[in-house]
Every structure is written in C-alpha cells, then in structure tokens.
Structure 1
Amino acid sequence: MEPAEITALTVVFFIAAVEICCFFVISKLRGKSYPLYTVIPVFAEDSELSQRLSYIGSLIEDGSSLTEHIILIDCGGTAEQLELCRTFCTSHHAAELILPEEIEETLRNYQHFH
C-alpha cells in the first residue's frame, strides 16, 4: 500500500470513529434531558411583549428551543396584551396564561406530569 492510501484510510476510519462516538454521546444526553419552563410576566409597561412572544414562537417552531412549557403571568397587562397572550397560547399548546395567585398550583401540576 502506498503512504497516501494509508493516510486516506486512517483519516476515513478516524472520521467514522468520531461520528459513532458523537452519535452515542448525543443519544445519551437526550435521555437525560429535563423539562425547562419559560416564565414571562406580562406588565402593562412592557412595550416589547409582541416581539418577545414572536421570538419565542419562532424558536419553538424551528425546534431550537428546549422549553417545554411557557407560562405567561398576567401582572396587570393591558387588554390588548392579554389578547395577544391568548392568541399565542392558542397557537402554541405549550403556553398557558395564568394569574399570579395561580403560580404555585400551576407549577405543582407541571411537576406531576414529569
């Protein structure tokens, strides 16, 4: 065998070994994932709520978000903001709009699912 052939085979075997190792490492990490929750308080003063919800929605749609649940907390939001939140919750089933006094109960319910 020529030195160039030996080098090429060595490189190919090395790449294959790295791919196999990465496959097993990634599959092990997926089995250890834990649910993440995103909590967004909705204040009347928040002028960027629409952009924030659009951003989170785009992360969910393209699959780059690890968030499993989105909790929107009505902390005195305007009627327009709350309607925006309701629309977001309708289009993203992982989202829920709650009142501040419902936080503990909501988190307990999520704990029972996992």
Structure 2
Amino acid sequence: METAEITALTVVFFIAAVEICCFFVISKLRGRSYPLCVVMPVFAGDNELPQRLDYIGSLVEEGSVLAENILLIDYGGTAEQIELCRKFCNSHHAAEMILPEEMEKAMKNYLHFMV
C-alpha cells in the first residue's frame, strides 16, 4: 500500500474509534441526566400566558427541555386562561392543571416517580 492509502485508513479508523467512544460516553451521561418538572402559575393578570404556553410547548416538542412533568397551577386564572390551559394539557401529555392545595401531592407523586 502507498503512504496516502495508509494515512487515509489510519484517519478513518481513528475517526471511527472516536465516534464509538463518544457514543458510549454520551449514552452514559444521558443515563445520569435528571428530568425536570416545569411549574408555571396561572394568574388572572398574566396577559402573556398564551406566549408562555407556546414557548414551553415548543421547547418540549423539539426536545430541548427534559421536562417529565408540566404543572400549571391555577391561582385565580380567568375562564379563558383556564380553557387555554386545558387545551394545552390535552395536547401535551406531560402537562397537568392543578390547584395550589394540590401542589404538595403533585410534587410527592413526581418525586416518587423518579425514585
């Protein structure tokens, strides 16, 4: 074999070895990543709620947030806001609408789910 062929094969084998090592390292790191719980209060005076929900939804859909659970907490939201939150919960299986008194129970369920 010529020197150019040997060099090319060496480079290809080196790149393949690095890719395999990175694959195993990244898969081990993913096993150690912890999912998040997104908590968002819903207040009557929040005029930007639709934009917030769209933003959270887009982050979850593109996979840039490892949110296992999205809790929308009703702190006296308007009827329109509550309906918007219900639609959001229907379209995102990880989302849940709760009342403030249910917060402790929801967080205990979430932590129990992770263990």
Under a length normalisation based on structure 2, what TM-score does the superposition of the two structures give? 0.89
Q: How does 1:4-43 map onto structure 2 within 5 Å?
A: 4-43=4-43
Deviation at 1:22, TM superposition (A): 0.9
Amino acid at match of 1:62: E
Aligned residue for 2:69?
69
Moved beyond 6 Å, runs of 4+: none
Q: Deviations over 1:25-49 (max 9, x none)?
A: 1111122222210011111222211
Deviation at 1:62, TM superposition (A): 2.8
Q: How many residue pairs align between the two structures?
A: 114
Amino acid at match of 1:5: E
Q: Deviations over 1:18-71 (max 9, x none)?
A: 110111011111222222100111112222111111122122223332111000
Amino acid at match of 2:41: P
Q: Percent identity?
A: 76
Amino acid at match of 2:89: C
Aligned-residue CA RMSD (Å): 1.4
